[in-house]
Amino acid sequence: MSAYQLFPQGSLGRNGQTALHVAALQGHLEVVKVLLSTQSFEEEVDRRDRWGRTALHLAVEQHHSEVEHPAFNSFDAKSAWGRSALDLADSNMKDDLTAAHQRNLANLGSPLEILMVAEKPSIAATLTEALCPPQNGAQKRKGVSPSSPVHEYRGSFMGRASRFRVTATTGHVYSLDFSQDCPIQRGPDVLFSAQTVRTYDPRGNIPAHIAEEARNCDLLILWLDCDRAELGWFRLELGLPTSKQLDSQLDRGSFGVFIGTPRNSLAPQDLQAAMTQLAHPNQNEAQSVDARQELDLRVGIAFSRLQTMYFRKHFGHQLGKQMVTYGPCQIPTLWFCVHRHVQIEAFVPEPYWRLVATLPAGQTSFQAHCQMGKIWQENEARVLLQRARASESAVVTSQRSWLSSYRRPRPLNTVEMLKMASQVLGLGPDDALHVAEALYLKGILSYPRTETDKYPENFDLEGTVRSMAEPNLPWAQFAQQLATSGLTAPREDGHDVGDHPPITPVKCASRSQCGSDAHWALYEEVCRHFLATVSPDATLREAEVQLQLGDVAFSATSGRMTSFGWARVARVQLQDTGAVDLSAGFQQGDVLRLQDVSLRQHFTEPPQHLTESELLALMDQHGIGTDASMASHVGNVQRRKYVQLDEQTRQMKPSELGLALCHAYMLIDPEIVLPTVRASIENACARVARGEARKAQVVEQSLRTFKNKFFGFARQIDRVPLMLAVAHSLSGRAGGSASQGRAAGQSLALWQEAAGRTLSVSLEELLDLKEHVVVTEAPEGALFDIQEVMRNSATVQQVQEALEELGFGSAEALQSGVAGGGGGQQGKGKKRSKSGKGKGGKGGWQ
C-alpha cells in the first residue's frame, strides 16, 4: 500500500498534516500532481498543520521549487510564526512563485465576487487586515449603513481570482416583536397567536446595507461566531438557496453561503486557518433558535402583561404600580435563590457532640477525635466520655501516610470564567462577560462564549506559554519556569462540545492595552489560569494515626504540602492541616499519655444564600440559558429587584417580590417556575436542531400547552398579590400582622403551604428529569373570559381586604376609581393610548 493511501481526504497525521503536506515535504512532484488532480483533494490544498503551515510552506522550506501546481493559491498564507511561503523563499524561488501565482490568477477567468459579513465593524477590520494579501492593499469606503464601513481588496479563493468585500452587522440584525396592529386590547391571551414581525434599528439600516453589498456576489461568508439566530435573517432577506457542496458553488450565477468560525481567536493565523475550513450553515439549528425565540417572546410577554396590568388596576393604590415580569429562564433562575432561602428559613439547629482527646507529640501535642464522628445523643456521648476517661493512656493501633494531590484546573469555559470573576474579582456575570468581550475584540483574549473545557489537539500550548514569559508581566517567572522545565499535559477529563476552544490569552498585553482596572484584572486571572492548566499538580503528604483509648477508638490526621505546583501561579492558598506532622514518629504499639479528653457540643449550621458563582453552577447543571445568556439572566433578576446582592459576599437574597412570585407560582402551577420549564423548551428545540421535528410543529404544540397553563394561572392570579402582601408583612414593611384578621390568616396559611412545596423539591431529582422532561399538557377546561381578571370581582375584594388587614391601607380609593370606569389611581386622569382608548377602561390591557 502506498504511504499516501494512509491519508484519505480529510484525515490528518500526528501533526495535523495531510498526504499533500507529506508529498510536498518530500518533493514528490508526481504525487502532488496526482493528489491535486483528484476532486477529493482540491479542498485540502490550503489545509494547515499544527504550526499553521500549508503544503506550499513545506515545499519552499525544503527548496523543492519543482513542486508547483496551478491549484496552489496559498502564497500569502501565514504560519503560526507569521511567515508566508513567499517570506521563506530565496530570491530566485520568490520570483518563480510570484510569476506562477500571477499565471494562476490570469488563467482563472473573471474573478469571484465574495461578500464577508462579520458580527461587528471592528471584527470586519480585523478580518481584512488578516486576510488581505499585503501587496494588494485594502480600500475602505462607506456603504448604505453609516455605522458599518466596507473594506475591499483583491485576492484568491480556492485557486480563483476574487474580489472581496468585508463589512459587518452591528450586533443582532433583528429582534422579534408583535406587529403594531396586534389586538392587545382584547387581552394578553391573544399574544399566543398574534402576528409577529422582525424589527430593525433604523439608525443602522443594516438590512438594506447588507442587501446592497450582496448584489451580484457569488459567495457570502458569514463570520458571526456560530450565531444561529442570524442565519434565518440572511436566508429570508437575501433569498439564499439551500446549502450545496463547496466545489459546486464556484460556478458563476450560483450564490453560496458559508460560515467562517475562528476556532481560537481573532489572531491572524486563526482567521487564516478558518478561511480554509469553511462550513455550511445548519438550517435545522437556525430553525431551533427561531423556535426558542418565538416561544420566549409569546410566553414571557403574555404572562408579564397579565401580571403587571392586574397589579396596577386592582392593587396599585396598596402595592404600587410596579412591573411584574415573567420569563422561562428568568423565573427558574430566581427559583434557585428562593429554594435556598426557604431552606435557610426552615432550618432548625440541631445539637451534636464530638469526643476529643489531647495527646503528646514531642514538645507539643495534637488532638484525636472519636471515630464515631458526630454523636447526636448527649447521653450516648457522655457514656463514651466516661469509658475514655477510664484509661490514662492511648495505644497506637496503626499509622499510615500517603501522597495525594490537588489537581490542576481544567481549561476555562464561560461558566467557570464567570464564577472566577465573581469569586476572585467581585465582578458580576454581566460585567465580567462585557469585559471579556472587550478584550476579545482587542485581540487579547480568545472568544469568551464557549462551553468547551478541553484544549484541541493542535492548540499551541508552548507558544502561548512563551508569550506569557515577557518580563513585564507579573506572572512571567512562572511562564519562564514552564518554558524551561516543560509543560504538564492538560487534563483529559474536559469536554469539547464543538463550539469554541477554552478561553485563553492570545498575546502578551500591558495594563494600558487592556484598558480599565477591571479589564486588566480579568486578563491577569485568565493568564494565570491558563498557566495553571499546564503546571504540575500540587502535592501533599497525608497521614493518619489510629489509637485506642480504653475501648473507644480515636483517630488523628495531618497534611503537609510537598509541592504547591499550579497553586502558586493561580494564587490559590493551600495550607498544611493538623498541628503535628503525623507521617513519622509513631509506630503500632506506642503508648501515649493522655493529657485530656473532653466532650464538645456543636450545632448544625444553616446553608448560606446562593452566591453568583453557585447560582451559575446550578443554572449550568439544569440547562437554564446558554454560555452566551446565563450572565444576562443573573443580571436580570438583580435589575428587576427580585433578589438583593450583597456586594461583599456576592450572595443573592430574594426580595419580597421575588419570594411572592415564586410562592404564588408554586401554589398555582409549579411547572411554570421549576427549572424543568426551561428544560422542556430546550428539549423541544433540540429536536428541531437535530432534524427530528419541524419548527412549526414544536412551536404549535408548546404554545398550546403554555396557553392552557396561562388560563389556569389567570384563574388564580390573586395568589400573586396575596403572597406579596404576606412577604412585606413578614419583613416588617407593612403596618399590620400576618396573624391579624381572617383573610390575613388564610394568606399566611397559603404562604406556608407554598414554602412547604418548595422545600420538598429535590434538585437531584430535577436533574435526573432534565433530559426527558415534558411540560404537562394542561387541560383546556371550561371557557374562561380573560376580561374577568380585570373586573372588580368578589375574589379581588377578598384580596384587597387581606391587604388592608396586613397593613397596606384601604382600597376604597381604588374601588371608587373602578366605579368611575378608571383603574385605581388611573381614574384621576386617564392617558390616551394610540388606539384612543383610556388605559383604565376596556383598553386596560395595552
Active site residues: 447
Amino acid symbol at 468: M
Residue with cell 430535577: 766
Helix, strand, or coil (residue 322): coil
Number of H helices, E strands in the chain: 30, 17
Beta-bridge partner residues of 838: 832
Measuring CA to CA, which residue among 361, 362, 403 is closest to residue 560?
Answer: 403
Say how far apart CA 391 and CA 288 lie, in whole Å: 72
Measured at the alpha carbon of residue 835, what is the angle toward residues 832 and 837, in degrees to the nearest 5? Answer: 50
Q: What is the bridge-based pairing of β-strands 364-370 and 643-645?
A: unpaired
Under a CB-based contact definition with an 8 Å cutoff, are residues 389 and 540 in contact?
no
Question: DSSP string of 426-444?
Answer: ---HHHHHHHHHHHHHTTS
* Alpha helices for 695-811 (secondary structure H): 695-715, 719-731, 742-759, 763-769, 794-805
Q: Which residues contact 643 (CB under 8 A, 6 or more apart)?
A: 334, 337, 637, 652, 653, 654, 655, 658
Per DSSP, 425 falls in state I
Question: DSSP string of 553-587?
Answer: EEEEEEEEEEE-THHHHHT-----BSSS-TTSS--
Measured at the alpha carbon of residue 604, what is the angle toward residues 600 and 609, in degrees to the nearest 5? Answer: 145
Measured at the alpha carbon of residue 47, what is the angle toward residues 46 and 53, in degrees to the nearest 5? Answer: 90
Say how far apart CA 157 and CA 151 lie, in whole Å: 17
CB atoms within 10 A of CB 714: 22
Under a CB-based contact definition with an 8 Å cutoff, are residues 731 and 762 in contact?
no
Say how far apart CA 447 and CA 506 lie, in whole Å: 10
226, 232, 169, 114 alpha-carbon torsion, rounded to 10°: 80
Say how far apart CA 190 and CA 181 lie, in whole Å: 12
Say how far apart CA 343 and CA 335 lie, in whole Å: 12
Q: Backbone dihedral region of 751: left (phi > 0), alpha (psi from -120 to 50 degrees) or beta?
A: alpha
Under a CB-based contact definition with an 8 Å cutoff, are residues 312 and 572 in contact?
no
List Cα–Cα distances, 187 to 84, 113, 215, 353, 702, in angstroms: 65, 51, 44, 61, 20
Question: Nine-digit cell at 437?
Answer: 468581550
Q: Is the Cα torsion angle 319, 320, 326, 332 positive or negative in sign?
A: negative
Helices 656-668, 330-346: inter-axial angle, 10-degree rounding: 100
Classify residue 48 as exposed, middle or buried by CB count within 10 Å of its CB (0-12, 13-18, 19+). buried
